Structure 1
Amino acid sequence: MTDDGPAELVLLAAVARRYYLQNQSKVEIAEELGISRFKVARLLESARERGLVRIEIVRQGALDVDASARLQERYGLRHAVVVEPADHDPGSVRHQLGRAAAELLAEVLEPGDVLGLPWSRMVHAMVGALTTLPPVEVVQLTGAIALPDFDSSAVDIVRRAARLAGGPARVFYAPFVLDSKASADALRRQPAVAEGMQAASRVTKAVVGIGRWAEGQSTIHDLLDEGERAALARAGVAGELAGVFFDASGKPLRPKVAARLVTIDADVLAGIPEVIAVASGHAKAPAVRAALGGGLVQGLVVDTGLAEALLVDEPAPRR
């Protein structure tokens, strides 16, 4: 990790919050975080030297490190980044979160990792903000969706990331959503698609978007007809992640329509050691909370509105 990256800053905030606001000892903090008490002492000293700790834990630019640390602690996440948007235009928020996700990914990705990327507006924004990556293989996780306001496909996303990483790109040409199970089955049998899907089993880190099962909150939701949307809602679908449907508890579901999607299945998703989700808006909170509860994601990059909704019932810090 770099000294000034978001993961390092959030770790400093997590240690400082436990020590200064929750009155935990250095030994207790070390045991909770799985580090030595000597490292805890060094992190506390570093937090003071950087000006991260005054009377309260303060923001570092657009990064709300206190909310990030609270979110990370509350849900047991590997990484959590909360961004205070400069404005609330959806395109601008997506751009700001994409930039924060790009910084986090460049910090936590290690040489030899295999990076998985699906089609997603948020993933598109993140890849567009990337400036560097360590040498890794990049794998396409889903087919593509053609939207009038987006001119890049899943293939474009993966190839751009692979160029920056200097590693191979595992891509295939296929739509995300097809009109029938037979069409999707035929595509999945094509060697390029089959090989691409097989490569997903090697992914060690993935970045995804999360869709809530509601109008305007999920691209897949909005692509289906009204009857299909209602049927999935009745079946208990609360959201989807890279085309993997899940209920309010985060349990993956396999509704009939899933057979029409060209994407990874729930078992492959569960086998990825670290999935980082990028999402915005308090309206997404039910789906994001469900995905967290089901262990579908281990990292988050969100705006302050969504973070506040996820922390709304958090106990007040001990004084």
Structure 2
Amino acid sequence: MLQVLAEAAASCLIEHTVQSAILGVASGRSTSRVSRLILSRPRCTLVRIADVARSTSLPDNPTETVRRMAQIASGPSWRLFAPIVLSSREAAETLRREPGIATAHAFFPRLTRVLMTTAPWEPGESMIHDSIPAEDQAMVAAFHTAADVPANVIDDGVGRLRPTLPPGPCRSHSRSCARCPA
């Protein structure tokens, strides 16, 4: 099933990406599968829209996935060489000021296509889940989390997207949580 979905996503991306497009890519296992199926694409700008989470194997390595897609796009690419999970809000703010990361973020409002990834909120499935401390995993799981979509979590009841982690001490989320000021 995953292969069929990856083939459909790759086909759609090839068919609907035009020259001069600005393609946003969220790294993950699904994106990695799709990237291996794209053999050509019109010249476009590629922007990574989510930072790096832990990867378990070279084929799923976020940096390798984006490098492969940028090479195929043969246009400019903007990468976020930073972890998606950080130890403090201050660390996130410092990284946002780094020129390469700031430039990538400046492209976000102009994205014309986005390749997203999602994963069930389970050990070995979600790179976000596996990147945070056990106590944070438990805190997020307590809200009946079913999946993550680039560091956002979806609950299993109504599928509501939670844009930030639930209330609690912010030890590892790179964006503001309910206790951190914006």
User: Shorter-chain-normalised TM-score: which range?
Assistant: 0.7 to 0.9
Contact 1:183/1:260 (<8 A) preserved: no
The yes-or-no answer on 1:254 pairing with 2:164 is: yes
Aligned pairs for 1:151-230 within 5 A? 153-230=61-138
Cα offset, 1:171, TM superposition: 1.6
C-alpha RMSD over aligned residues: 2.6
Cα offset, 1:251, TM superposition: 3.0
Cα offset, 1:231, TM superposition: 1.1
**Gap change, CA 1:115 and 1:243, over 3 Å in 2:** same
> How far, CA to CA, are the matches of 1:97 and 1:258 in structure 2?
35
Aligned pairs for 1:249-288 within 5 A? 249-255=159-165, 257=170, 260-261=173-174
Which ranges in structure 1 are unaligned for 5 or more consecutive residues?
Answer: 1-82, 84-92, 263-319
> How far, CA to CA, are the matches of 1:116 and 1:168 in structure 2?
12
Cα offset, 1:151, TM superposition: 5.3
The yes-or-no answer on 1:244 pairing with 2:157 is: no
Which residue number in structure 2 is paired with residue 109 of structure 1? 17
Provide the TM-score with structure 2 as the length reference.
Answer: 0.78
SS in structure 1 at match of 2:58: coil
**Gap change, CA 1:259 and 1:204, over 3 Å in 2:** farther
SS in structure 2 at match of 1:238: strand
Return the match for 2:37 from 129, 133, 146: 129
> How far, CA to CA, are the matches of 1:159 and 1:166 in structure 2?
10
Cα offset, 1:175, TM superposition: 1.5
Which ranges in structure 2 are unaligned for 5 or more consecutive residues?
Answer: 176-182
SS in structure 2 at match of 1:107: helix
SS in structure 1 at match of 2:24: strand
Output the amino acid matched with 2:67: R
Number of aligned residues: 170
Which residue number in structure 1 is paired with residue 179 of structure 2? none
Cα offset, 1:201, TM superposition: 2.0
